[in-house]
Structure 1
Amino acid sequence: MRQVILDTETTGLDANLGHRIIEVAAVEMINRRLTGNHFHHYVNPQREIDPGAQQVHGISLEFLQDKPFFRDVAQDFIEFISGAELVIHNAPFDLGFLNMELKLIGLEPVGKYSPDVVDTLKMAKDLHPGQKNNLDALCRRYFVDNASRTLHGALLDTELLAEVYLAMTRGQNSLMIESVEEGGNHADLGGDFMPHDLMVLAATPDEMEMHRAYLDEIDKASKGACLWRALESGA
């Protein structure tokens, strides 16, 4: 399965008020593994940047003066995302800006090229109701190192979001499912398919503490319905 984790930075908060994209970044993930392929461009917005927005991302109009316009990178962007499931934190915001940029140059909206979108903000709110669910909070919750994130930046944020997304969804794919996706078939999973010399490594104390903290989060979000906690109690 091909997924693209995507993020933008903008001159302000509302594309309908004439605000524009100033940075767009996307990283490719296939079968839950980052491939190293990415798309990243700074974009000249041809307008001023709101002071509040610049405080968030630290990108100045002076820095953007020699950068391409969105129309100059649009086709490469479309080729990169086409056919992939998009993973975006607060998807309506980024898609609103991307669709406006595409409309201004006479192109179809993002959904024409990539109809499937996962909104990790919505996912996080469902998993952790009533809690902070911005990217920094999710990095802390899922033990993703974001020490280098002093300002918002689209490329760094896509890489962090990829790690967060994998942590949020890690219970959805078993090793056997991944084996099938990588070229095997269901018949391959029958019988003696596991290697005899499989090495089993015990979890370290730090890893056990991270595991307990993760179960605490699940138990709290599910109001005491965490299956693993129930199994531990019955052991």
Structure 2
Amino acid sequence: MRQIILDTETTGFEPHNGDRIIEIGAVEMFKRRLTNNNYHQYIYPERKVPQEAIEVHGITDEFLKDKPVFSKISDAFMEYVSGAELIIHNAPFDVGFINHELSLLADNKWGKIEDHCVITDSLKMARKTYPGQRNSLDALCKRLGIDNSNRTLHGALLDSEILADVYLTMTGGQTALLLNADGQNPEDSNDNRVAIQSDRPTLKVLKASDAEILLHKKKLEEISKESGEHQAW
């Protein structure tokens, strides 16, 4: 039941061409509740950060010069994620970088991250849910009504927090926002309960006409053909 929503920032796109991780951010959920047990670490990449990458995330060489290298934080990071389901938007990108960093360790004792975690790609989920539409994190926030107004630059921890909202909304809504110190949801107290009035008017049910049902069926067939997967909603 332990899930970790994770994001990284890097010096570029190709780890095998020398690009490295410079930031890892992650938020933890337990039983679909954010626990506030987050992980956030900047990393010195042992190389220069290209200007085009700085323009994306705003992380400079000057800022990173006193940060630890990956080998110094690898054990703490892997102990944090081990045994969890990792939820990552475009998981192959981040997993590829993490595995490359692990492979550079002198003892390579951790192997690959998927040896210790279940990997879930939220981008793949979004493409299945919204076929033929843009499914970037920004696009999903707009579609799902999630506020990402603080996101002027990419940042691993902020992106993880936003992705947690996106994931919970895509998969049925958030059951609670935060656990308190004794492991209970503060919203569960009687003081916060709202009574539903029994004298509310009955909701009006509008049934689709035969013509509307036919148009809906035709649209599903078009979406199924484009996505290559049968759609039944």
Identify whether the pair has TM-score above 0.5, normalized to the shorter chain.
Answer: yes
| In 2: Cα distance, 1:147 partner to 1:96 partner | 29
1:136-193 deviation per Cα after TM superposition (whole angstroms, max 9, x unaligned)? 111111111100000000000000000000000017x99xxxxxxx9xxxxxxxxxxx
SS of alignment partner, residue 170 of structure 1: coil
**Do structure 1's residue 2 and structure 2's residue 17 form an aligned pair?**
no
**Do structure 1's residue 110 and structure 2's residue 116 form an aligned pair?**
no
Q: Give the match for residue 121 of structure 2.
A: 119
TM value normalised by structure 2:
0.75
Q: Give the match for residue 16 of structure 1.
A: 16
| In 2: Cα distance, 1:149 partner to 1:201 partner | 40
Q: Give the match for residue 76 of structure 2.
A: 76
Q: Kindly provide the amino acid, as one letter, of the partner of residue 120 in structure 1.
A: S
Q: 1:131 Cα shift?
A: 1.4
Runs of 4+ in 1 over 3 A off after TM superposition: 219-227
Q: 1:99 Cα shift?
A: 0.3
Q: Give the match for residue 151 of structure 1.
A: 153
Q: 1:117 Cα shift?
A: 1.1
SS of alignment partner, residue 87 of structure 1: strand
Q: Kindly provide the amino acid, as one letter, of the partner of residue 147 in structure 2.
A: D
Q: Give the match for residue 216 of structure 1.
A: none
Q: Kindly provide the amino acid, as one letter, of the partner of residue 75 in structure 2.
A: Q
Matches within 5 A, 1:1-235: 1-105=1-105, 106-107=108-109, 108-114=111-117, 116-170=118-172, 199-200=195-196
Q: 1:63 Cα shift?
A: 0.5
Asked if 2 retains the 8 angstrom alpha-carbon contact of 1:129 and 1:221, the reply is: no
Q: Relative contact order (C-alpha < 8 Å, sep 6+): which is higher? A: 2
Asked if 2 retains the 8 angstrom alpha-carbon contact of 1:128 and 1:221, the reply is: no
SS of alignment partner, residue 148 of structure 1: coil
For structure 2, the residue ranges without an aligned partner over 5 or more in a row are 176-182, 184-192, 199-216, 225-230
Q: 1:130 Cα shift?
A: 1.8
Q: How big is the alpha-carbon RMSD for the aligned residues of Structure 1 and Structure 2?
A: 2.7
Kindly, what percent of the aligned residue pairs are identical? 52
For structure 1, the residue ranges without an aligned partner over 5 or more in a row are 175-181, 183-196, 203-218, 228-235
TM value normalised by structure 1:
0.74
| In 2: Cα distance, 1:138 partner to 1:100 partner | 29
| In 1: Cα distance, 2:197 partner to 2:11 partner | 49
| In 2: Cα distance, 1:147 partner to 1:55 partner | 18
Asked if 2 retains the 8 angstrom alpha-carbon contact of 1:28 and 1:36, the reply is: yes
SS of alignment partner, residue 36 of structure 1: coil
Q: 1:221 Cα shift?
A: 7.8
Q: Name the one with the larger helix percent.
A: 1
Q: 1:200 Cα shift?
A: 2.5
Asked if 2 retains the 8 angstrom alpha-carbon contact of 1:91 and 1:119, the reply is: yes
1:61-103 deviation per Cα after TM superposition (whole angstroms, max 9, x unaligned)? 1100000111111111011101000100000000000000011
Count, aligned residues: 189
SS of alignment partner, residue 151 of structure 1: coil
